[in-house]
Chains A and B, each alone.
Chain A
Amino acid sequence: MHPDDRERYFRPTPGFVVIAACGWRGFLLATVWFCLGDSSVLQSSPPDYRRDIKPILEKRCYSCHGRLKQKADLRLDAGFLVLKGGKDGPAAIPGDSRASKLIQRITASDEAERMPTEGKPLSSEQITLIRDWIDAGAKFPTDEIPPSSPAEHWAFQPLRRPSIPRVKDAEWCRNGVDRFILARLEARGWKPAPDASRPAWIRRAYLDLVGLPPSPEAVDAFVGSNRGREEILNQLLADPRYGERWARHWLDLVRYADSNGYERDAAKPFVWRYRDYVVNALNSDKGFDRFVIEQIAGDELTDRSAETVIATGVLRLGQWDDEPADPAADRYDQLDDVVSTTSQVFLGLTLGCARCHDHKFEPLSTRDYYSMVAVFNPLKRPQNGRTELVLPAGSFAELEAVQRRDREIERLKLAKNDPQVTELRQATPDLPMGYFLQEPSSKPPETRVLLRGNPLRPGDKVVPAVPAIAARRQPDFPEPASGTSRRRLGLAQWIVQPDNPLTARVLVNRVWQQHFGIGLVRTPSDFGLMGEPPTHPELLDWLADWFIHEGSWSLKKLHRLILSSRSWEMSRQANSEYIAADPENRLLSFAPYRRLEVEAIRDSILSVSGQLNQEMSGPSMFPTIPAAALEANTDKDTIWKASGASASSRRTLYAFIKRGLVVPLLEVMDLSDTVQSCARRLNTTVAPQALTLFNGEFVNQQAAYLAQRLRREAGPDPVRQIHLGYRLALGRPAHPSELTALRAFLQQESAANGRRDGDPDFAALVQLSRVLFNLNEFVYPE
């Protein structure tokens, strides 16, 4: 039996099991099942184990006597285990509740004896149920199997490469990905959806990889030729706009923002250099292993450079309170931000929940948590009171050279603009300033477990360690050197060890999610017991193993593999029979629709209107915020100084993310959480989005620019204008019925506006352009 299947069958609680394994439909069925169960039981019958007893035990006893912990060697998470008991003998003796330890302990009048130790005692109804159940013989279903040990959880198993399954229709498949997908469909007797059309495919590829629509010329060149898809993919992966598009996915994960939040919500100086680092790393296809190491420990590398030091800015991206009420608690809040983010992003573990107590649902202890705190504890924030400081980024040799230069300038006692000074400065230029934390010494501070997370209640001392459940054995942390503890280097190296069971699985799943809209594991930052098991466990493992060994951690190779698959090329045409049987499309019988993220929507609008400013990198820009949206701010007149038209027409990636004041257009269109790691954008459909995209100033301005462009490039003929508008916005000409509707609309609008001053034809074209930006097909690409 595959570990994944074991997961399905051995979940601890009936209601929850069915939900996890079968999804919504299963949940509803489970509900029905419970109801039937209720009505079919006679009033006088004894309590039913599954219906009456197990839920009580699960709620009040399992956390100490279950899968994660077995205090007094006792487990209560299966009927036979209740009878078997623990150190003190059986917990229940069938037919004799008075002699049963379970009853004795839950009814004890001595508080030290009474179970459960936490919370209120069991109610008298609950006690009666358990008592009656025991007296009636303590019956339980014989097929009940207790949940497996957390160590057997699929995500903690070593990565092994599964063999590629056989399929009937081998013709359909282009690569290994397809075989895994098709095998599952064929097992049901299903067929994959037909291929997407060539125009649909190229638009999809552009929006997916670079986040912008293809030009009409690019579509024509592809559609009208036999040009291979491979060629388009290579071209897009080599396009620097790829880095801009995919950097945003990473920034979501690492809670990127340009300001600190809290009362003053000050800008984080030079934080954009970290954003640029991510763009460049993706464009240069830096190995993901190296990408991880640089961000966690770029300052501890022997080949450290300005780039690797700036990469560690990720550890300083959290909120920061410049005037904390409780500085000790604040220090641990900052560490928590780093530990929680790191463990979610790289390992898919919700370690943050183990700050105050052992994790209730996962095999993660407070010791695991504080051992990770020990890794980051040597880091300090450069600051002068409430003011944050930034430091030059570079190798040690570069930093020393600049210091030597400055000493020399000081020694010469020359004026600032003296030619000799200029020459010295040119010979040894300043290093870029960066926004990162720093270890002031190689002697790390002591770290202790905090009881109940309270800094005033230190417990045992801990040393740096990784979560025990995820490591066969603890890695060797290197000795301190070159001014740092090198603890982070130890952690980073362990994360990217090929035998780490989590890292590659988590990463390939994130990439899959961006390409298909939903991951193979649908809880992308939670691979623990409470996360969802993968829909295609073998495919996930195969991809992860491929990524490490054949892909050599190259994201571009991984993209190419996935995007050149037949699976990714499937159209969005769903078979109604399949949907009825698989409403969530877990088997991937078609490519699901999904709305573009707000960045891709806004960038596409700018691109189509011809206004997109393609300038890359550098400080962030400030898009216009409607005055009405500034009213609710303390400093409503000064809080936001919008950039000019040209700067604010840069890609949305470069928009300043102010934690206390998110640009309404971005917020209403489901921008990521700006405070915590966001593994997947929410996707809401609400009326304010319609108001924003239909009435908002941005879209109406861009509609006017598009109208000008249509006139300029298509001339005065409405038919040509309409076709060009469609080709720009949707990558295809208008269908005949659309053309008829749009021509009628232009005539009607021109006539209606004719009574007013100005240019009625143009006004009509602006209206038409606005409609184009609001089409479902514009934001839900084929």
Chain B
Amino acid sequence: MKMHRFIPNPTPCGRTRREFLWQAGGGFAGLALIDLLTQSGVFAGRALAADASLTSPTAPKTPHFRAKAKRAVFLFMNGGPSQVDTFDPKPALTQWHGKPYGGDAKVGSNGRAIGHLMRSPFEFRRHGQSGLEISSLFPHTARFADDLCVIRSMHTDTAAHASGCLQMNSGSVFIGKPALGAWLSYGLGTSNQNLPSFVVMTDPRGGPIGSASNWSAGYMPAAYQGTLFRSAGVPLLELATPSGTTDQSQRHSLDLLRQLNEEHLATRAHESELAARIESYELAFRMQTDALDVVDLSRESAATREMYGLNDKLTADFGRKCLITRRLLERGVRTIQLYSGGGHIEDTWDGHNDCIQNHKLHAGETDRPIAALMTDLKRLGMWDETLLIWGGEFGRTPTSEGVDKPGRDHDWHGFSMWLAGAGVRGGQAIGATDEFGFRAVDEPVHVSDLHATILHLMGLDHHRLTYFHSGLNQRLTGVVEQSVVTKALA
């Protein structure tokens, strides 16, 4: 229908009418219940069947404009990777190593001790035809130098992990706002009806600070929120048949429930909510099969397992997540977010004490699996439809934290991230930080500019992607004018 785009949130006035969509449609796993019910004839002859407005909140939607990227993978380096050790080489640091910093950038966070300028121990080399400079932390990713679009001039508003993660995920330092993945679910829906549209996989050491508020749907219906997916065992909460119940009993009980509920419905035929609820149990049962199939890697070849690093303890966990990511992408999941690092300080990229060992560990865990994912996406012809985003909530200071200690503190004035894949112009570095790498000085890119760019790459105009709440048309990019980083576009 012509006006379809506007249905999810047409106007301030229309919003309560849409509630029926949520009531009837639900939406986890892109559940188009009404479509489903209509297909299966549940609505045949009922007054509501004709109402075209009854679609699921996560039913696929047309983007604002044609875009290559259909799906997004956010590789979230939790804790904040150091720009001068990864993608932003600073020869001046070598020259001034061990000297106190005399510039005017505000150094350090939260009253932590300020040390001296500290060179990176990791060698930067030019890679690919583009000659993009990448440090020795990422030998595997470096093979894709011509595909990476590094933004060296990122900056954000906060020096704390919780608010930094929230800002990177939802554009706001406050909890209660929808995450990027939720906006993509809202704006684009999903093509797979049996899996969540927005999947999150966290680190075995724990989640990011603020945990679920980082993938929340905020003020939008829960149908759009990120769903935690475990890479081993039972992937979704309460998916398993309860202990003590046989599969046969489970099926008997579901059949009984259905029978009783349908008898109840028979005299209440106009109540689509009741019909939808009956169907939700069947869908739940089907999800058991589909979700379990995603994490069943038994049919992946030995070569694939080796490529993702599943045979090496260091890379096995993140490798498994990257492989599952590919399997989720193949099944049409819209947004997947992977966390590297969890818990506190050195268990994340938060290298306060020893940034060097810290980054060796976390880069070591992730570099090979990420390169494997890129290889696989290219091999399977999915590269041109998938957008990859790499980075953390902020960067780290070019100074050491305290004297003679190889730690680095938080730096939110300048840091690096990269984009790759669908619609991205690779083999380039955009913007620059100052001589030492403290602060973005050339072509600064705020987190919200990055969000505008990601939405653009996914075919959404960040001005037009709005959701009416609390008297205001809310946007991911907020009320301050943001701009798409056009240089990043292919």
CA–CA, A244 and B239, complex, Å: 33
CA–CA, A265 and B163, complex, Å: 12
**Which B428-472 residues have C-beta < 8 A from chain A?**
470-472
Q: Does A16 count as interface, using CB distance less than 8 angstroms?
A: yes
Q: Are B284 and A634 in contact (CB under 8 A)?
A: no
* In the complex with contacts A20-B14, A31-B3, A361-B12, A776-B265 CB distance below 8 A: yes
Q: Does A659 count as interface, using CB distance less than 8 angstroms?
A: yes
Q: Does A433 count as interface, using CB distance less than 8 angstroms?
A: no
**Which B194-247 residues have C-beta < 8 A from chain A?**
200, 202, 204, 206-213, 219, 221-223, 227-228, 230, 234, 236-242, 244-246
Identify which of B237, B254, B470 contacts A350 (C-beta below 8 A).
Answer: B470
CA–CA, A673 and B469, complex, Å: 12
Q: Are A741 and B277 in contact (CB under 8 A)?
A: no
List of A residues within 8 angstroms of B62 by Cβ? none
Q: Are A362 and B471 in contact (CB under 8 A)?
A: yes
Q: Does B338 count as interface, using CB distance less than 8 angstroms?
A: no
The distance from the CB of A669 to the nearest CB of chain B, in whole angstroms, is 9
Q: Which chain A residue shows the least CB distance to B276?
A: A685
Q: Does B24 count as interface, using CB distance less than 8 angstroms?
A: yes
Q: Which chain A residue shows the least CB distance to B267?
A: A573
List of B residues within 8 angstroms of A111 by Cβ? none
Q: Does B173 count as interface, using CB distance less than 8 angstroms?
A: yes
The distance from the CB of A554 to the nearest CB of chain B, in whole angstroms, is 29
CA–CA, A1 and B274, complex, Å: 40
Q: Does A353 count as interface, using CB distance less than 8 angstroms?
A: yes
Instruction: Mark the stretch among A302-310, A605-613, A625-633 that contacts chain B.
Output: A625-633
The distance from the CB of A583 to the nearest CB of chain B, in whole angstroms, is 7
List of B residues within 8 angstroms of A23 by Cβ? 17
Identify which of A262, A660, A694, A777 contacts B163 (C-beta below 8 A).
Answer: A262
Q: Does B129 count as interface, using CB distance less than 8 angstroms?
A: no
Identify which of B23, B53, B162, B206 contacts A263 (C-beta below 8 A).
Answer: B162
Q: Does A635 count as interface, using CB distance less than 8 angstroms?
A: yes
Q: Does B80 count as interface, using CB distance less than 8 angstroms?
A: no
Instruction: Mark the stretch among A142-150, A177-185, A318-326, A393-401 that contacts chain B.
Output: A318-326
Q: Which chain B residue shows the least CB distance to A741?
A: B259
List of A residues within 8 angstroms of B303 by Cβ? none
Identify which of A323, A632, A676 contacts B212 (C-beta below 8 A).
Answer: A632
Q: Are A325 and B175 in contact (CB under 8 A)?
A: no
Q: Which chain A residue shows the least CB distance to B479?
A: A356
Q: Does B256 count as interface, using CB distance less than 8 angstroms?
A: yes
Identify which of A27, A593, A745 contacts B256 (C-beta below 8 A).
Answer: A745
Q: Are B223 and A767 in contact (CB under 8 A)?
A: no
Please tell me the number of chain B residues within 8 Å of chain A, measured between CB atoms: 102
Q: Are B1 and A686 in contact (CB under 8 A)?
A: no
Q: Does B27 count as interface, using CB distance less than 8 angstroms?
A: yes
1/0 per residue A514-541: CB within 8 Å of B? 0000000011001010101000000000
Q: Does B343 count as interface, using CB distance less than 8 angstroms?
A: yes
Q: Which chain A residue shows the least CB distance to B214?
A: A632
Candidate in B3, B10, B256, B271 with the most chain A CB atoms within 10 angstroms? B256
Q: Does B261 count as interface, using CB distance less than 8 angstroms?
A: yes
Q: Are B163 and A325 in contact (CB under 8 A)?
A: yes
The distance from the CB of A580 to the nearest CB of chain B, in whole angstroms, is 5
Candidate in A522, A694, A741 with the most chain B CB atoms within 10 angstroms? A694
Q: Are B280 and A690 in contact (CB under 8 A)?
A: yes
List of B residues within 8 angstroms of A576 by Cβ? 47, 270
Q: Does B19 count as interface, using CB distance less than 8 angstroms?
A: yes
Q: Does A136 count as interface, using CB distance less than 8 angstroms?
A: no
Q: Does B372 count as interface, using CB distance less than 8 angstroms?
A: no
Q: Does B29 count as interface, using CB distance less than 8 angstroms?
A: yes
Q: Are A333 and B284 in contact (CB under 8 A)?
A: no
Q: Does B252 count as interface, using CB distance less than 8 angstroms?
A: yes
Q: Are B273 and A780 in contact (CB under 8 A)?
A: yes
The distance from the CB of A763 to the nearest CB of chain B, in whole angstroms, is 8
Q: Does A234 count as interface, using CB distance less than 8 angstroms?
A: no
Q: Which chain B residue shows the least CB distance to A21?
A: B13
Q: Are B206 and A19 in contact (CB under 8 A)?
A: no
Q: Which chain A residue shows the least CB distance to B242?
A: A700
CA–CA, A687 and B31, complex, Å: 8
* In the complex with contacts A683-B22, A686-B223, A775-B257 CB distance below 8 A: yes
Q: Does A469 count as interface, using CB distance less than 8 angstroms?
A: no
Q: Does A574 count as interface, using CB distance less than 8 angstroms?
A: yes
Q: Does A441 count as interface, using CB distance less than 8 angstroms?
A: no
Instruction: Mark the stretch among B90-98, B153-161, B400-408, B414-422 that contacts chain A.
Output: B153-161
* In the complex with contacts A350-B470, A686-B26, A262-B284 CB distance below 8 A: no
Q: Does A123 count as interface, using CB distance less than 8 angstroms?
A: no
Q: Are B208 and A752 in contact (CB under 8 A)?
A: no
Q: Are A636 and B206 in contact (CB under 8 A)?
A: yes
Q: Does A584 count as interface, using CB distance less than 8 angstroms?
A: yes
Q: Does B249 count as interface, using CB distance less than 8 angstroms?
A: yes
The distance from the CB of A744 to the nearest CB of chain B, in whole angstroms, is 9
List of A residues within 8 angstroms of B261 by Cβ? 775-776
* In the complex with contacts A263-B162, A753-B249, A628-B237 CB distance below 8 A: yes
**Which A591-640 residues have C-beta < 8 A from chain B?**
593, 595, 626, 628-629, 631-636
The distance from the CB of B162 to the nearest CB of chain A, in whole angstroms, is 3
Q: Does B65 count as interface, using CB distance less than 8 angstroms?
A: no
The distance from the CB of B144 to the nearest CB of chain A, in whole angstroms, is 29
Q: Does A697 count as interface, using CB distance less than 8 angstroms?
A: yes
Q: Does A132 count as interface, using CB distance less than 8 angstroms?
A: no
Q: Are B212 and A691 in contact (CB under 8 A)?
A: no
Q: Does B311 count as interface, using CB distance less than 8 angstroms?
A: no
CA–CA, A660 and B471, complex, Å: 25
Q: Does B380 count as interface, using CB distance less than 8 angstroms?
A: no
Q: Does A455 count as interface, using CB distance less than 8 angstroms?
A: no
**Which B6-24 residues have C-beta < 8 A from chain A?**
10-17, 19-20, 22-24
Q: Are B237 and A629 in contact (CB under 8 A)?
A: yes
Q: Are A28 and B342 in contact (CB under 8 A)?
A: no
1/0 per residue B387-409: CB within 8 Å of A? 00000000000000000000000
Q: Are B276 and A660 in contact (CB under 8 A)?
A: no
CA–CA, A777 and B261, complex, Å: 8
Q: Which chain A residue shows the least CB distance to B226?
A: A632
List of A residues within 8 angstroms of B302 by Cβ? none
Q: Does A738 count as interface, using CB distance less than 8 angstroms?
A: yes
Q: Does B316 count as interface, using CB distance less than 8 angstroms?
A: no
Q: Which chain A residue shows the least CB distance to B263?
A: A737
List of B residues within 8 angstroms of A628 by Cβ? 230, 234, 237
Q: Are A686 and B207 in contact (CB under 8 A)?
A: no
The distance from the CB of B36 to the nearest CB of chain A, in whole angstroms, is 11
Candidate in A583, A685, A742 with the most chain B CB atoms within 10 angstroms? A685
1/0 per residue A741-782: CB within 8 Å of B? 110010011001100000000010001101100111101100
Q: Does B283 count as interface, using CB distance less than 8 angstroms?
A: yes
1/0 per residue B354-365: CB within 8 Å of A? 000000000000
List of B residues within 8 angstroms of A405 by Cβ? none
CA–CA, A777 and B274, complex, Å: 9
Identify which of B15, B206, B240 contacts A695 (C-beta below 8 A).
Answer: B240
Q: Which chain A residue shows the least CB distance to B235?
A: A628
Q: Does A245 count as interface, using CB distance less than 8 angstroms?
A: no
Candidate in B2, B29, B162, B228 with the most chain A CB atoms within 10 angstroms? B162
Candidate in B48, B162, B237 with the most chain A CB atoms within 10 angstroms? B237
Identify which of B176, B227, B472 contacts A676 (C-beta below 8 A).
Answer: B176
Query: Given A27-B10, A779-B277, 20 other A-B contacts at CB below 8 A?
Result: A27-B53, A31-B1, A353-B472, A626-B237, A632-B228, A634-B343, A683-B22, A685-B23, A685-B25, A685-B33, A685-B280, A688-B236, A691-B236, A696-B242, A697-B242, A741-B256, A741-B260, A767-B253, A775-B260, A776-B274
A/B interface sample: 30 pairs, CB < 8 A: A20-B14, A23-B17, A27-B14, A262-B210, A265-B210, A350-B470, A350-B471, A359-B471, A522-B16, A572-B268, A626-B238, A632-B202, A632-B212, A634-B207, A634-B208, A634-B211, A667-B222, A675-B175, A686-B26, A686-B31, A687-B287, A688-B284, A690-B277, A692-B237, A697-B242, A741-B256, A741-B259, A749-B249, A752-B248, A780-B277
- Per CB-CB distance, the 6 closest pairs between chain A and chain B, nearest first, are A350-B471, A263-B162, A632-B207, A675-B176, A20-B13, A686-B26
